[in-house]
Amino acid sequence: MKTLILISLLVVTISALPSTRNNRIWNGENATPGQAPYLIGILWYEFATTIQPLNICGGAIVNVWWTITAAHCLINNLTGIGRFEIVVGQHFVSIANRSGREQFRNIAVEFIHPNFAGGASAYDVALMRLDAPLAPFNEFVQPIALQAQSAPPLQSGTVRSFGWGSVTGGPPHVLADELQTVQLPIMSSELCREVLSTILPSNPFSSSCMCTVRFENSGNVCNADSGGPAVANLNGQNVLVGVLAWGTSCTLSGFPTVWSAIGPVRTWIDQTIQANS
Ligand SMILES: *[C@@H]1O[C@H](CO)[C@@H](O)[C@H](O)[C@H]1NC(C)=O
Ligand SMILES: *[C@@H]1O[C@H](CO)[C@@H](O)[C@H](O)[C@H]1NC(C)=O
């Protein structure tokens, strides 16, 4: 029970409706090992004696020392009741299914974007410096290029995301053991703002947000996929263009999912890393 409460504290602020499908990321597909070598998992060990952690959020590798995620994944100081750990090279969360390619690190210091207001809001992005550098980089562990400084949020095309979040799409949320992936169409900021204003009374959309929807009959990101990457193929290169912030529904067509776009916070990312390395 305590576990469920924790998940609901840490995951995206989503009011998901029960779904009739019982599938992946939600309704995505199994990733192949090494498909997202830049992906991190944020593991939560509830007690000192916990052996099997929960993967409560995702994120991405920036360089050997630094990883990026959503601010709301870290905002509650839960140090007193358990501990976080960062994993890279992970495909299955269950320790019984580990491949031996995983690398585990602790968070040495975390930096929440100064404009993050908490809850479903803009600038839901955070940087984590690890307690030891990731090594080696290989087929399963790699950094990802970041969207260029001041590049606006993408307005069209598709992105791919990955995560171990809810496969049920609504309560009771069941988290994935094997990494899931889904492709998502980008929704223009203009349309997103318009749709959100009809769904949410206080619309926290800002110009630093990027929006996606789901393809009809396809999947979507869901609870505990938070912090996970939106990856676009730009000129043949995988580029991190967003981290998962919040959504309005995992399962309903036309309901936007909101990402913290990387371009608008790239200066903050570069300056924070430079000043604290
Ligand atoms: C978090 O809580 C722990 C103990 O509960 C405390 O030692 C630590 O300083 C806190 N960290 C922050 C960033 O507030
Ligand atoms: C390990 O992975 C297999 C294959 O996906 C799955 O059937 C099994 O439930 C997993 N084990 C655990 C402990 O989750």
pTM for this structure? 0.89
Q: Tell me if residue 243 falls in helix, strand or coil.
A: strand
Q: How confident is the model at residue 82, as a pLDDT?
A: 85
Query: Looking at the domain that runs over 146-263, which CATH code has it been given?
Result: 2.40.10.10
With a 6 Å cutoff on the Cβ, whether 96 touches ligand 2 is yes
Report the run of H or E that residue 273 belongs to, with start and end. helix 266-276
Q: How confident is the model at residue 46, as a pLDDT?
A: 87
- Residue 110 CA: which ligand 1 atom is closest? 13
- Residue 177 CA: which ligand 2 atom is closest? 14
Class of residue 271 by CB neighbours under 10 A (exposed 0-12, middle 13-18, buried 19+): exposed
d(CA 65, CA 55): 20
Distances (CA, A) of 36 to 19, 31, 89, 220, 242: 27, 8, 9, 17, 15
Distances (CA, A) of 214 to 7, 158, 207: 23, 10, 21
* Among the listed residues 169, 159, 245, the one whose alpha carbon sits nearest the alpha carbon of residue 209: 245
220 contacts: CB under 8 Å, gap ≥ 6? 25, 26, 27, 28, 169, 182, 184, 214, 247, 249, 250, 251, 257
Show the low-confidence residues of the chain (pLDDT under 70): 1-24, 76-79
Q: How confident is the model at residue 1, as a pLDDT?
A: 26
Phi, then psi, of 230 in degrees rounded to 5: -105, 115
Q: How confident is the model at residue 63, as a pLDDT?
A: 98
Residue nearest to atom 2 of ligand 2 (CA): 97
Q: How confident is the model at residue 15, as a pLDDT?
A: 31
146-263 matches 37-143+266-275 in CATH topology? yes
Assign a CATH topology to domain 37-143+266-275: Thrombin, subunit H (2.40.10)
With a 6 Å cutoff on the Cβ, whether 178 touches ligand 2 is yes
Residue nearest to atom 1 of ligand 2 (CA): 97
Q: Where are the domains of the chain?
A: 37-143+266-275, 146-263
